[in-house]
């Protein structure tokens, strides 16, 4: 029995609902489209490392279990292919869940309805769209759309957008978003499976949706020609303007570059001169309180930065400003934190790009001297890596700027983006 990933399981759920995946594999993307045989007996691929793949091919069949370990489907006539296996999907009838946990009504009832007119992927109705008989709402399995709209807001906003007295039935289909082109292809496939007449997908190409987002950012009112008044209420609550939206400012840089100094100065400014609330997650303090169990190897640093990102995202979720100042030497972990935070608010990365020589000369804590003497192993910049960000929103070098000047650069960015007045 195999335990597919959440993404693979999400796609498997669609396949079991009769959707023909446009991807070669469960959990795939359009980069690897499926040109294989279609039909009712749907063939799908599954990435699988070799000993397991060989065993599955030898057995000719493999069972796929959900997160609880309950078998939900079988792959029959399994054959090998590069990087995995391929087989015919068969639902294990007893195990199929007809209820999407978040939505209630049984999704498989929908294909029987001939007049499905729209698939709405991750966005509410816009004004003057004709109300369909049945609308399939693609409810994000990860909890939020690529724009960070939580499933609940999406559901409420779609309902609120229906014209009064409309007979439209909403049916929810669990949907795992990945990248815009693949999302579009998968949404179209869902539409085809359910006989939908048209598909509406949120995406960068949707000019009216971009207009909605732009107006929300500028705190401009949403006219009823763009969205229904009730929808506007939901959207405004979902995405307040930057001055009221949660914000995480993460300073990253070498030890002694000036992160703590600037983080404290920024937090003081926000506390003293604005109406916003702020919390500081300073590297040293976090190490004492939140990460006392961790050392400085790669895994420990990643865990430390993830923890900081998690706490910061909670602050942002409630509309606050979190200022953090870890070294955060790894690009992938910083990116992970950015993605987490952007589900609930905004994230700004400030690279404190003070050169190593200057940090070492300052040697506030005497750690560089000890590291050079071999007394502190894995010291960032000396015997451990620091991956320079290429995605920093602001860069300051405190060997060229005074503390006040560096703070002013950060503040100018925050004012320009509307986070601070």
Ligand X SMILES: Nc1ncnc2c1ncn2[C@@H]1O[C@H](COP(=O)(O)OP(=O)(O)O)[C@@H](O)[C@H]1O
Ligand Y SMILES: Nc1ncnc2c1ncn2[C@@H]1O[C@H](COP(=O)(O)OS(=O)(=O)O)[C@@H](OP(=O)(O)O)[C@H]1O
In the complex, the residues that contact ligand Y under the rule CB under 6 A are: 255-256, 260, 283-284, 287, 296, 301, 304-305, 326-329, 365, 367, 376, 378-380, 384
328 binds, among ligand Y, ligand X, none (CB under 5 to 8 A by kind): ligand Y
Q: In terms of DSSP bridges, do strands 247-252 and 394-396 run parallel, antiparallel, or are they unpaired?
A: unpaired
| 354 CB-side CA count, 13 A | 27
CB of residue 290 to ligand X, shortest distance in Å: 16
Helices 207-218 and 229-238, axial angle in degrees (round to 10)? 60
Tokens of 371: 């590291």
The site for ligand X, by CB under 6 A, has a size of 18
Place of tokens 């949707």: 206
402 binds, among ligand Y, ligand X, none (CB under 5 to 8 A by kind): ligand X
CB of residue 265 to ligand X, shortest distance in Å: 8
Residue nearest to ligand Y (CB): 283
Place of tokens 């959440």: 6
139 binds, among ligand Y, ligand X, none (CB under 5 to 8 A by kind): none
Q: How far is it, in rounded angstroms, from Cα 342 to Cα 344?
A: 5
Tokens of 272: 């003293």
CB of residue 284 to ligand X, shortest distance in Å: 8
102 forms part of the interface with ligand X (CB under 6 A):
no
Site stretch for ligand X (CB under 6 A), options 66-74, 372-380, 381-389, 400-408: 400-408
H or E element in which residue 6 lies: helix 6-16
DSSP structure string for 328-372:
---HHHHHHHHHHHHTTSEEEEEEE---HHHHHHH-TTSHHHHHH
Q: How far is it, in rounded angstroms, from Cα 355 to Cα 397?
A: 8
DSSP structure string for 101-115:
TTT-SBGGGGGG-TT
376 binds, among ligand X, ligand Y, none (CB under 5 to 8 A by kind): ligand Y
Sequence-distant (6+) residues with CB within 8 A of 123 are 145, 147, 149, 154, 200, 202, 206, 209
CB of residue 351 to ligand X, shortest distance in Å: 11
Q: From 237, 185, 235, select the one nearest 20 (Cα to Cα).
A: 185
242 binds, among ligand X, ligand Y, none (CB under 5 to 8 A by kind): none
**Taking CB under 6 A as the rule, which mask of x and - marks residues 153-192 in contact with ligand X?**
----------------------------------------
| Residue 29 backbone dihedrals phi, psi, to 5 degrees | -140, 175
CB of residue 349 to ligand X, shortest distance in Å: 14
Tokens of 387: 């991956």
Site stretch for ligand X (CB under 6 A), options 91-99, 181-189, 341-349, 397-405: 397-405
CB of residue 348 to ligand X, shortest distance in Å: 17
278 forms part of the interface with ligand X (CB under 6 A):
no
Q: From 29, 335, 343, select the one nearest 180 (Cα to Cα).
A: 29
369 forms part of the interface with ligand X (CB under 6 A):
no
261 binds, among ligand X, ligand Y, none (CB under 5 to 8 A by kind): ligand X
380 binds, among ligand X, ligand Y, none (CB under 5 to 8 A by kind): ligand Y
**Taking CB under 6 A as the rule, which mask of x and - marks residues 293-332 in contact with ligand X?**
--------------------------------x-------
364 forms part of the interface with ligand X (CB under 6 A):
yes
H or E element in which residue 396 lies: strand 394-396
CA distances from 96 to 42, 134, 135, 194 (A): 16, 23, 23, 18
Tokens of 1: 């029995």
Contact residue for ligand X among 178, 259, 301, 338 (CB under 6 A): 259
252 forms part of the interface with ligand X (CB under 6 A):
no
Q: From 341, 317, 323, select the one nearest 240 (Cα to Cα).
A: 317
86 forms part of the interface with ligand X (CB under 6 A):
no
| 297 CB-side CA count, 13 A | 2
Contact residue for ligand X among 240, 403, 409, 418 (CB under 6 A): 403
3-state secondary structure of 319: coil
Contact residue for ligand X among 257, 278, 291, 333 (CB under 6 A): 257
Contact residue for ligand X among 401, 408, 409, 417 (CB under 6 A): 401
Binding-site ranges for ligand X (CB under 6 A): 253, 255-262, 283, 325, 362, 364, 398, 401-403, 406
């Amino acid at each position: 029995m195999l335990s597919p990933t959440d993404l693979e399981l999400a796609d498997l759920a669609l396949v079991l609902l009769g959707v023909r995946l446009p991807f070669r594999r469960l959990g795939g993307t359009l980069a690897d489209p499926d040109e294989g045989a279609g039909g009712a007996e749907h063939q799908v691929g599954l990435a699988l490392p070799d000993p397991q793949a060989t065993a599955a091919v030898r057995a000719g069949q493999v069972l796929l279990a959900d997160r609880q370990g309950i078998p939900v489907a079988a792959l029959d006539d399994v054959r090998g292919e590069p990087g995995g296996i391929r087989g015919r999907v068969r639902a294990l009838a007893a195990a199929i869940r007809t209820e999407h946990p978040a939505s209630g009504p049984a999704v498989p009832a929908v294909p029987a309805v001939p007049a499905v007119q729209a698939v709405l992927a991750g966005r509410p109705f816009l004004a003057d769209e004709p109300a369909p008989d049945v609308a399939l709402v693609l409810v994000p399995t990860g909890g939020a759309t690529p724009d960070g709209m939580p499933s609940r807001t999406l559901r409420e906003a779609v309902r609120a957008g229906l014209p009064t007295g409309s007979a439209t039935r909403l049916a929810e289909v669990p949907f795992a978003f990945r990248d815009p082109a693949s999302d579009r292809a998968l949404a179209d496939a869902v539409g085809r499976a359910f006989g939908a007449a048209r598909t509406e997908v949120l995406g960068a190409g949707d000019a009216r949706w971009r207009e909605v987002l732009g107006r929300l950012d500028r705190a401009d009112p949403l006219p009823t020609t763009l969205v229904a008044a009730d929808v506007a209420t939901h959207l405004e609550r979902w995405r307040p303007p930057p001055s009221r939206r949660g914000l995480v400012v993460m300073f990253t840089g070498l030890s002694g570059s000036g992160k703590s100094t600037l983080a404290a100065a920024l937090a003081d400014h926000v506390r003293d001169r604005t109406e916003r609330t702020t919390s500081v997650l300073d590297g040293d303090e976090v190490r004492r309180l939140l990460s006392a169990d961790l050392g400085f190897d790669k895994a420990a640093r990643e865990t430390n930065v993830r923890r900081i990102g998690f706490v910061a995202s909670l602050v942002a979720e409630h509309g606050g400003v979190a200022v953090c100042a870890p070294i955060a030497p790894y690009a992938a972990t910083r990116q992970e934190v950015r993605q987490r935070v952007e589900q609930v608010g905004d994230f700004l990365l400030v690279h404190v790009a003070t050169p190593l020589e200057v940090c070492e000369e300052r040697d506030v804590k005497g750690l560089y001297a000890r590291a050079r003497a071999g007394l502190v192993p894995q010291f960032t910049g000396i015997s451990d890596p620091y991956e320079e960000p290429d995605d920093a929103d602001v860069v300051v070098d405190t060997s060229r700027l005074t503390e006040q000047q560096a703070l002013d650069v950060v503040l100018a960015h925050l004012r320009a983006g509307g986070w601070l007045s």
